[in-house]
């Protein structure tokens, strides 16, 4: 399954287009390497998403079979290792 599609189905990001933009900008890493949106995701991969306001690190537990995943099923697709909201003051310091 494509990385951008997986991030959307697992509800790590809200929309596939946003996941694609994050991948294209280098904000998404798989197993420590920057990843393109078309990269295949496998069970056991560690995915990191680093945006201005949030840092998320998850382990892929399961790849969905269909393109429709319920909220309950989405929880079982990943295991959150880290989920940090960034402080607004840190963001302002960057600007």
**Model's pTM, two decimal places?**
0.87
Residues of the chain with pLDDT > 90: what percent?
77
pLDDT tens-place string over residues 70-85: 999 999 999 999 999 8
Question: Which sequence spans correspond to the domains of the chain?
Answer: 3-94
CATH number of this structure's domain 3-94, picked from the four choices 3.40.630.10, 3.40.30.10, 1.20.1070.10, 3.10.290.10: 3.10.290.10
- Evaluate the CA torsion angle 30, 38, 5, 86 in order and state its sign: positive
62 pLDDT band, cuts 50/70/90, is very high
What does the pLDDT read at residue 31? 96
Q: Per the structure block, which two tokens stand in for 71?
A: 């909220």
């Amino acid at each position: 399954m494509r990385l951008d599609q997986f991030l959307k189905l697992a509800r790590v990001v809200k929309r596939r287009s946003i996941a694609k933009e994050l991948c294209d900008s280098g904000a998404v890493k798989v197993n420590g390497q920057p990843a393109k949106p078309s990269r295949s995701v496998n069970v056991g991969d560690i995915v990191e998403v680093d945006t201005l306001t949030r840092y998320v690190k998850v382990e892929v537990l399961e790849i969905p079979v269909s393109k429709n995943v319920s909220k309950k099923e989405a929880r079982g697709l990943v295991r959150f290792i880290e989920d940090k909201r960034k402080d607004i003051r840190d963001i302002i310091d960057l600007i």
